[in-house]
Amino acid sequence: MPLEAMQRQEPIVSESLHMSPDEFRAHAHRVVDWMCDYFANVEQYPVRSVCRPGEIAAAVPDEPPQNGDSFDAIMSDLDRVIMPGVTHWQHPSFFAYFPANSSPPSVLAEMITSALAVNCMLWVTSPAGTELETRVLGWLARMIGLPASWQGVIQDTASSASLCAILCARERFSDFAVNERGFAGGDKAGRMTVYTSDQAHSSIEKGAKIAGIGRENVRVVPTDQNYAMDVDALREMIEADRHKGMSPIAVVATVGTTSSTAIDPLRPIGEVARQHNLWFHIDAALAGTAAILPEFRWLHEGVELADSYCFNPHKWMLTNFDCSAMYCHDADVLKRTFSIQPEYLRTDAGGVIDYRDWGVALGRRFRALKLWVVIRSYGVEGIRRYIRHHIDLAQEFAGWINEDPAFELLAPHPLNTVCFRWIADGSLPDDQLNAANKKLLDAINDTGEQFLTHTKLSGRYTIRMAVGQTRTLRRHVEAAWENIQRLAAGLA
Amino acid sequence: MPLEAMQRQEPIVSESLHMSPDEFRAHAHRVVDWMCDYFANVEQYPVRSVCRPGEIAAAVPDEPPQNGDSFDAIMSDLDRVIMPGVTHWQHPSFFAYFPANSSPPSVLAEMITSALAVNCMLWVTSPAGTELETRVLGWLARMIGLPASWQGVIQDTASSASLCAILCARERFSDFAVNERGFAGGDKAGRMTVYTSDQAHSSIEKGAKIAGIGRENVRVVPTDQNYAMDVDALREMIEADRHKGMSPIAVVATVGTTSSTAIDPLRPIGEVARQHNLWFHIDAALAGTAAILPEFRWLHEGVELADSYCFNPHKWMLTNFDCSAMYCHDADVLKRTFSIQPEYLRTDAGGVIDYRDWGVALGRRFRALKLWVVIRSYGVEGIRRYIRHHIDLAQEFAGWINEDPAFELLAPHPLNTVCFRWIADGSLPDDQLNAANKKLLDAINDTGEQFLTHTKLSGRYTIRMAVGQTRTLRRHVEAAWENIQRLAAGLA
C-alpha cells in the first residue's frame, strides 16, 4: 500500500486520550509529596482501620464512570473514601501477624518497575529481569548461608513456594507420572502422605489439597514444649504409614512458625527425610532473614539436607510484597514439574533461564529490581543492624513481660515475636483467661494506637507481639507496653 | 517496668539507618523525572533487548555489597547495567505476544500502592482493599456484560484463574472428597477429564497437571477453519469418555486464543457443559476487554452459561501487571475449595469477604487501587476509544497484508491481532516458507525497530502482529509495515 494512502487517515486516537507527559510529570511529583506526607503522618492514623463492614463499599458508586475524572478528583477521593479503610501496615506500631516490609529504596524501585512494566516470563522478554533475579538470589543465598549450588527463583508468596515443593515431591516420587497421567493413571501414584508439624503454616495443608493429596494425608506431627517438631514422632509416623502401605513423599519443616517463631530441628528432620527418600522443604518465610546475622546462622543448621527452601524478603527484609525467595537443591525437578512449551512461547535463546517454568504463573513482574535496590542501598551490614534492632526490641519487651507478675510468656522468643498473656493474680482458670485476653487484645486494637494479633498455644489464647515494622523504634515498643499494662489493669 | 528504666537505653537503631524523609523526597522526585524521561525516550531503545545471554549477569558482582551504596550510584548502575537488558514492553512498537499494559494513571496508582504497602489477605487487614476490589470488579462485570449475580476476585494471572477453575471443577465433581482425602481416597475421584481446544492456552494443561488430573486427561478438542472449538467434536469426545467410564469434569473455552484471537462459540459449549454437568470456564484473558465495546459484546454471547470467567485488565486495559479479573457464578465453590482457617488468621469480622480464601496465595497486594484509578481516569468511554483505536489499526494492517500479493493472512482477525506470512510469488512449498518467515521475523526483530513474535497455525510458521501497546499510534503500525515489506523484499 502506498504511503500516501496510509497517511490519508488521521490518527484514530490522538495522544490526548492519555494524560500528557507534562500532566503525568506534575501528577507524579504530587503523588511523591502525598507519599512523603503519608510517611510523615502515618502515626496519626489508627493502626487498624476503624471502619465498619460495608462502609467503604457504600462510598463507591455501583456504576463505573462513563467519562474520565480529573486526577485531582481521584486524589481527593483517595483521601476521603479509601484512606479511612486502610489498615496501616507501615505504621511503626503495627505489631500484628508478621510485617509486610517496605522501605524507601524498595518504594523507589517499585516506581521504576511500574514504569518499565516488563513481563519477565522468558529470558528474551527481559534478559535483565531474568539475569538480575539469578544474581540477587545468589546474593541472598550467600547472605543466609545456603549451599552455593542451589538455584533460586522469586515466587509471589511462601504459600506458592510450599505448593511448588509439594508438587515437586509428588512428581519426583511418581517419576512424573501424576503430571502425565494423573493420580488415577499411575501405579506409583499410590496414597501419598506429607508430614509437617502442628505449628506449620496453613499453606502446607492448602498445597496438599491443591496437589490432589488431600487434607487427611497431611500428617500433623506433634511438637515439643518449645513448639518445635518432635522428630521421634515424625519417624514413627512415617514408619507406621509405610507399614500401612502409604507412600510418604515429603516433610515440611518450619524455621520460625507463624504462631510463635518456633524452630524445627532441621538436621534430624533432614536425616529422616534422606533415610526415607522424602522431599524435604523448609518454610522459613519470616525467620530466614534472621540467618543474615552470624549469631543466628544456627537457625539453618542442617539446611544443606533440604531439597527446597523458602523465605520472604517481603516480610522482614525491607522489600515490598510480593517477593518470596525459593531455592531448590535440584531445580530440574521444579522445571520439569512446570515446563510446558507452546509454539507461541518458543525462543531461540539457548542456555538461558525461562522463569515461567519455575512456578504456577506465566507472567512475572520485574521483582528482582527491588531486591537489588534494597541490598545495594542497605548493604549486608545495614540489613543486619536492622534485624538486630527488631530482635533486641522484642527481647527487651519479653523481659518486661517476664518481670511483671500480671503477665506470662507462653513460648520461647528466639527472634522478633513474643507470645504472652495477662494472668491477673495467677488464680484464674484458662477459660476465663482466654476470654479476658481476647478482651484485652480488642481493647488494645480499639485504641488505634497499636495493632497486635493472637494465636492459640496449647489451648491458651495468646497475644502475639511481632516487632518487625520498618520504622518501629524503641519508643513504639515502650508505648505498646504502657498501653497493654494500662488496659490490663482496667480488666482486673 | 518503670518508665525511667525503659528510657535508660537509647534507641538501638537511630532513624539514620533509613534514607531520611528529605532524602526520600529528593530521590523520589528524581525517579519521577527518570520515569518521564523513560517515557519520552522509549522509542530510542531497540524494542527487544540486544544483549547476549550472560551479559547482564556478568556486570553484577557475585557477592552482595557489605555496605550500602548511595542512591545516585544505584541509579547510575540502573542506566549502565540494567537498562541494556530490558525488552521494552512500553515501546509503542511492541507488537509481540499480547501487551503488558500500563498507563500514566496506573503507574501513579502503583506508586500509592507501594507506599501504603498493605497486605489485603483479610478484610480486617485493609477493609478498603477488600471492599474496593469487590466494587471495581462489579464495575468491570457491568462493563463487559457479565451476569450481575457473579462475584469477582483479582488473581495474579489467567494461569492462576485457570488453575482455580479446574480445582473448582475437581472439588464440585468429587463433592470436595479430593480436597479431603486426595485422589486415592475417594470413590468419586475416578479418572477425571478436562476439555479444551487445540488452540487453548498452555495454562490449561499446566493447571490440570497441578491439580493431579494429568496431561493425558486433558482432551484436546479440534478446531474449525477459524481456529474455534468444534462443538460437535467436543460432544462426541465427552460421550466417548463417558462410555469408557471416564469422568468429564470441565470444559475451558477461549475468547481470543493466544495464537490468533479465535473465539470459541460459548453458547453451544455452555449447553454441552450443562447437559453433562461440567464446570464451564471461559478464558478471555486478552479479549474480554473488547467486550467493553457495544459492537463487540457478541464476544460474550452465552457467557451466562459459564461457571467461571477470567480476563486480564493487565493485558489490554491500561492496568499494570498483575491484575487478572476472575468471576464465579457460585463463589462458594471457590471459597470452599481454598478455605483454611488457622487460629492466627481468625477474626471477628462477620459478613465480610476474606479474599485469601479465593485463590492460592495468602498475601495479596492492594491491586484494586490501580483498577479504580484507571477506570476513574479514562471512564468507560475513554477505554472504549482506546480499544477501538487498536482494533481499527489492526484491521487496517490486515487490509495492507491482504492487498499485497507477497503476503497472506493466516487466520481471521476479529480483534487486535493479525496472523500472516510472506509468500513471495506464491510458488514456494510450506517448509521453505516456514524457514523464510522465521528469517523474516528475526530480521524484523534484529532491527530493534519493532518486536513481533510467531506461532504455528495448521503447521505454518505464522508471524503475529498484536496491536495493543498503550502508546501505539498509527505511525508505529505504518513503520512496522514498511519495515516488514522492505525486509521481505530483501528475502526474495
State the pLDDT at residue A492: 75
Cβ contact (<8 Å) for B379 and A66? Answer: yes
What is the average pLDDT score of chain B? 94
Q: What is the pLDDT of residues A118-173, one digit of tens each?
A: 999 999 999 999 999 999 999 999 999 999 999 999 999 999 999 999 999 999 99
Kindly list the residues from chain B whose CB atom is less than 8 angstroms away from the CB atom of residue A459. Answer: none
Q: If residue A195 lies in a helix (H) or strand (E), which one and from where to where?
A: strand A192-197
The C-alpha atoms of residue A468 and residue A261 are separated, in whole angstroms, by: 13
CA distance to partner chain B, nearest, from residue A119 (Å): 7
Please give the residue of chain B at the shortest CA–CA distance from A396.
B6
Cβ contact (<8 Å) for B142 and A65? Answer: no
What is the average pLDDT score of chain A? 94
Cβ contact (<8 Å) for A87 and B118? Answer: yes
The C-alpha atoms of residue A87 and residue A482 are separated, in whole angstroms, by: 22
Confidence of residue B62 (pLDDT cuts 50, 70, 90): very high
* B62 three-state secondary structure: coil
ipTM confidence score: 0.95
The C-alpha atoms of residue A376 and residue A458 are separated, in whole angstroms, by: 43
The C-alpha atoms of residue B273 and residue B316 are separated, in whole angstroms, by: 29
Cβ contact (<8 Å) for A15 and B373? Answer: no
Q: Which of B476, B306, B447 is nearest to B389 (CA)?
A: B476
State the pLDDT at residue A261: 98
Point out the least confidently predicted range of A254-268, B138-152, B174-188, B379-393: B174-188
Average pLDDT over residues A397-411: 98
The C-alpha atoms of residue A178 and residue B209 are separated, in whole angstroms, by: 7
Cβ contact (<8 Å) for B392 and A12? Answer: yes
At position B171, the amino acid (one-letter code) is E
Cβ contact (<8 Å) for A373 and B74? Answer: yes
Kindly list the residues from chain B whose CB atom is less than 8 angstroms away from the CB atom of residue A453. Answer: 344
CA distance to partner chain A, nearest, from residue B182 (Å): 4
Is residue A14 predicted with pLDDT exceeding 60?
no
**What's CA B281's distance to the chain center, in Å?**
16
Is residue B188 predicted with pLDDT exceeding 60?
no
Q: Compute φ and ψ for B192, nearest 5 degrees.
A: -85, 150
Task: Count Cβ atoms below 10 Å from residue B52 Cβ, excluding itself.
Answer: 12
Cβ contact (<8 Å) for B185 and A82? Answer: no
CA distance to partner chain B, nearest, from residue A459 (Å): 11
pTM for this prediction: 0.96
Please give the residue of chain B at the shortest CA–CA distance from A9.
B474
Please give the residue of chain B at the shortest CA–CA distance from A451.
B125
Cβ contact (<8 Å) for A376 and B69? Answer: yes
Q: What is the pLDDT of residues A280-317, one digit of tens each?
A: 999 999 999 999 999 999 999 999 999 999 999 999 99
Average pLDDT over residues A314-321: 98
Phi-psi region of A350 (alpha: psi -120 to 50; beta: other; left: phi over 0): beta
Kindly list the residues from chain A whose CB atom is less than 8 angstroms away from the CB atom of residue B7. Answer: 478
Share of chain B above pLDDT 70, in %: 95
Cβ contact (<8 Å) for B3 and A478? Answer: yes
Q: In whole angstroms, how far apart are CA A468 and each of A292, A418, B257?
A: 15, 12, 45
Q: DSSP assignment of A348-361, as one string? A: ---S---GGGGSS-
State the pLDDT at residue B1: 37
How many A/B residue pairs have CB atoms within 8 Å? 590
Query: B interface mutation test: which of A16, A113, A126 has the most B CBs within 10 A?
Result: A126
Please give the residue of chain A at the shortest CA–CA distance from B67.
A379
Is residue A184 predicted with pLDDT exceeding 80?
no
At position A122, the amino acid (one-letter code) is L
Cβ contact (<8 Å) for B6 and A400? Answer: yes
Q: In whole angstroms, how far apart are CA A389 and each of A396, A463, B14?
A: 11, 21, 10
Confidence of residue B343 (pLDDT cuts 50, 70, 90): confident
Cβ contact (<8 Å) for A12 and B97? Answer: no
Query: Which residue of B64, B68, B381 is in closest CB contact with A142?
Result: B64
Please give the residue of chain A at the shortest CA–CA distance from B133.
A57
The C-alpha atoms of residue B219 and residue B222 are separated, in whole angstroms, by: 9
CA distance to partner chain B, nearest, from residue A236 (Å): 21
The C-alpha atoms of residue B156 and residue A364 are separated, in whole angstroms, by: 9
